[in-house]
């Protein structure tokens, strides 16, 4: 295990919340109406979640966390989003939400720049903008709710693959979409960590599955054909790692080519149990959505502006402080393996 015990215990406690959450059967996907509804004393608590794409269990879980929070404080939850995780696929949704006059948009960006003009028009019209999971440039949003420190997310994946391939050999990365802010930041940091700590590991290629299951599956097959000496794949996306695992499971590479990255326990369980995958990492997506919802509320009600040092209450998660560049940090990543995966349900 790669984390200090204290960190793991804290992460476990946080994740236990999501087990309870899923057990209650919370589901995202409502397409509620926009402004007007949900106005409390402090403002228009109509908050819409806009994930990278719909149909991704990771975002289903984060949206469920957002919905739980919004129910707790008496606002109106809605979720809208594109079918495909393309750079400008979110623009038309942002424009519609601006017209509807929602209180806040909580968005995971497919591209750091492509949605900026639309978001700034929303902000000019009085809509608060919180990015979560995948940021835009800092001048297009009020706050970014970051799941975990990017260096930590990069390092945990490098540590896992290094351990799984014995510290030497060729690896490849199967990413999400080519412009994704979060994956691109993590990949750059993974390259730095490889260079600094693992000179015998060579990153031979980065490919993009676009957070689409079939594309990710096909890209996995192509990687293995192109690089006959490949010893491992790192997929820093829940869609990619699940598709790659499905490919490996029935291929000649099962057990011979390591696979790690970021996955949800429910999607990865069968691959961990049958030995296709040894260990992977993630944070708690439900808590991420929950925190993004409370951050939205604090902005709408004027408790915070997104300035460094601002503090706000986030329900069951407690108090959070805004850091430099308007970033709020959820916590630490967590490693899942055959020993613990049975404890999680999301
Ligand atoms: C996918 C998305 C998301 C990312 C996770 C790890 O679901 O790309 O943005 O944070 O993977």
Domain region containing 161: 150-282
C-beta of residue 138 within 8 angstroms of C-beta of residue 162: no
Mean pLDDT along residues 211-235 = 98
Distance of CA 161 from the midpoint of ligand 1 (Å): 19
pLDDT tens per residue across span 255-308: 999 999 999 999 999 999 999 999 999 999 999 999 999 999 999 999 999 999
Instruction: Establish if 16 belongs to a structural domain.
Output: no
What pLDDT does 41 receive?
A: 55
- Which residues 6+ apart lie within 8 Å of 131 measured at CB? 106, 107, 108, 109, 141, 143, 144, 145
pLDDT at 36 over 90: no
Distance of CA 58 from the midpoint of ligand 1 (Å): 7
Distance of CA 283 from the midpoint of ligand 1 (Å): 11
Say yes or no: 209 and 259 in one domain.
yes
Instruction: Establish if 176 belongs to a structural domain.
Output: yes
User: Reduced to 3 states, what is the DSSP secondary structure of residue 321?
Assistant: strand
Q: Is the beta carbon of 182 within 6 A of some atom in ligand 1?
A: yes
What pLDDT does 169 receive?
A: 98
Instruction: Establish if 195 belongs to a structural domain.
Output: yes
Quote the CA–CA distance of 235 and 183 in Å, as a whole number.
9
Mean pLDDT along residues 75-94 = 97
What pLDDT does 236 receive?
A: 99
In the structure, what pLDDT confidence band is assigned to residue 28 with cuts at 50, 70 and 90?
very low
What pLDDT does 97 receive?
A: 98
What pLDDT does 4 receive?
A: 34
- Which residues 6+ apart lie within 8 Å of 340 measured at CB? 12
pLDDT at 83 over 60: yes
- Locate the DSSP E strands across the chain: 39-40, 43-44, 46-50, 76-79, 104-107, 128-132, 143-148, 169-175, 201-208, 230-235, 258-261, 279-282, 311-313, 319-321, 327-331, 334-337
Mean pLDDT along residues 222-248 = 98
Q: Is the beta carbon of 133 within 6 A of some atom in ligand 1?
A: yes
Instruction: Establish if 194 belongs to a structural domain.
Output: yes
User: Reduced to 3 states, what is the DSSP secondary structure of residue 88?
Assistant: coil
Is the four-CA dihedral 94, 131, 18, 339 of positive or negative sign? positive
Q: What are the C-alpha distances in Å from 120 to residues 46, 51, 115, 204, 320?
A: 18, 18, 9, 39, 25
pLDDT at 221 over 80: yes
Q: Is the beta carbon of 56 within 6 A of some atom in ligand 1?
A: yes
Instruction: Establish if 21 belongs to a structural domain.
Output: no
CATH of the domain at 166: 3.40.50.2300
What pLDDT does 322 receive?
A: 98
Q: What are phi and psi of 234, to 5 degrees?
A: -110, 125
DSSP state letters, 118-141: HHHHHHHTT-EEEEESS---GGG-
Instruction: Establish if 18 belongs to a structural domain.
Output: no
Distance of CA 130 from the midpoint of ligand 1 (Å): 17
pLDDT tens per residue across span 90-131: 999 999 999 999 999 999 999 999 999 999 999 999 999 999
Say yes or no: 234 and 316 in one domain.
no
Distance of CA 123 from the midpoint of ligand 1 (Å): 25
> Among 76, 85, 83, 81, which residue's Cα sits nearest to residue 94?
81
Q: Is the beta carbon of 262 within 6 A of some atom in ligand 1?
A: yes
Distance of CA 335 from the midpoint of ligand 1 (Å): 16
* Last residue of one domain, picked from the residues 267, 282, 297: 282
Nearest CA to ligand 1 atom 7: 238
Q: Is the beta carbon of 134 within 6 A of some atom in ligand 1?
A: yes
State the number of CA atoms in the 13 A half-sphere of 213 facing the CB: 9
Say yes or no: 101 and 91 in one domain.
yes
Token readout for 30 is: 């409502």
* Residue 256: exposure state from Cβ atoms within 10 A (0-12, 13-18, ≥19): exposed
The chain-wide mean pLDDT, for the chain, equals: 91
What pLDDT does 6 receive?
A: 32
To test the pocket of ligand 1, the residue of 56, 108, 238 to mutate (highest count of ligand atoms within 8 Å of its CB) is 238
Say yes or no: 270 and 195 in one domain.
yes
pLDDT tens per residue across span 157-195: 999 999 999 999 999 999 999 999 999 999 999 999 999
Nearest CA to ligand 1 atom 10: 133
Q: Is the beta carbon of 193 within 6 A of some atom in ligand 1?
A: no
Say yes or no: 109 and 58 in one domain.
yes
What pLDDT does 299 receive?
A: 98
Distance of CA 342 from the midpoint of ligand 1 (Å): 22
What pLDDT does 3 receive?
A: 36
What pLDDT does 256 receive?
A: 96
Say yes or no: 247 and 305 in one domain.
no
pLDDT tens per residue across span 124-167: 999 999 999 999 999 999 999 999 999 999 999 999 999 999 99
Q: Is the beta carbon of 131 within 6 A of some atom in ligand 1?
A: no
How many domains is the chain built from?
A: 2
- Identify the DSSP state of 27: -
Counting residues of the chain whose pLDDT is more than 90, the rounded percentage is: 88
Say yes or no: 185 and 275 in one domain.
yes
Please tell me the pTM assigned to this model.
0.89
Q: Is the beta carbon of 52 within 6 A of some atom in ligand 1?
A: yes
Nearest CA to ligand 1 atom 5: 237
Instruction: Establish if 177 belongs to a structural domain.
Output: yes
């Amino acid at each position: 295990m790669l984390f200090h015990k204290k960190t793991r215990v804290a992460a476990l406690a946080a994740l236990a919340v999501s087990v309870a959450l899923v057990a209650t059967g919370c589901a995202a996907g409502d397409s509620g109406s926009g402004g007007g509804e949900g106005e409390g004393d402090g403002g228009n608590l109509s908050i819409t979640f806009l994930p990278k794409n719909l149909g991704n269990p990771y975002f289903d879980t984060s949206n469920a966390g957002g919905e739980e929070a919004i129910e707790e404080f008496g606002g109106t939850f809605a979720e809208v989003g594109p079918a495909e995780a393309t750079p400008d696929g979110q623009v038309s949704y942002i424009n519609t939400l601006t017209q509807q006059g929602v209180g806040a948009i909580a968005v995971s960006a497919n591209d750091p720049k492509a949605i900026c003009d639309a978001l700034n028009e929303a902000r000019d019209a009085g809509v608060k903008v919180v990015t979560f999971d995948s940021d835009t440039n800092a001048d297009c949003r009020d706050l970014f709710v970051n799941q975990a420190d990017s260096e930590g997310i990069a390092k945990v994946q490098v540590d896992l693959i290094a351990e799984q391939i014995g510290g030497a050999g060729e690896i490849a990365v199967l990413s999400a979409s080519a412009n994704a802010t979060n994956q691109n930041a993590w990949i750059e940091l993974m390259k730095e960590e490889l260079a600094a700590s693992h000179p015998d590991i060579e990153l031979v290629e980065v490919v993009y599955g676009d957070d689409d299951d079939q594309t990710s599956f096909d890209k996995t097959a192509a990687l293995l054909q192109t690089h006959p000496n490949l010893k491992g794949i790192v997929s820093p996306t829940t869609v990619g790692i699940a598709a790659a695992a499905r490919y490996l499971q029935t291929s000649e590479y099962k057990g011979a080519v390591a696979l790690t990255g970021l996955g949800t326990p429910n999607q990865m369980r069968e691959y961990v149990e049958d030995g296709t995958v040894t260990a992977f990492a993630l944070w708690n997506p439900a808590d991420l959505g929950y925190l993004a919802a409370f951050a939205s509320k604090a902005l709408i009600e004027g408790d915070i502006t997104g300035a460094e040092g601002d503090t706000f209450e986030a329900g069951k998660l407690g108090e959070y402080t805004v850091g430099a560049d308007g970033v709020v940090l959820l916590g630490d990543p967590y490693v899942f393996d055959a020993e613990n995966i049975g404890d999680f349900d999301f």
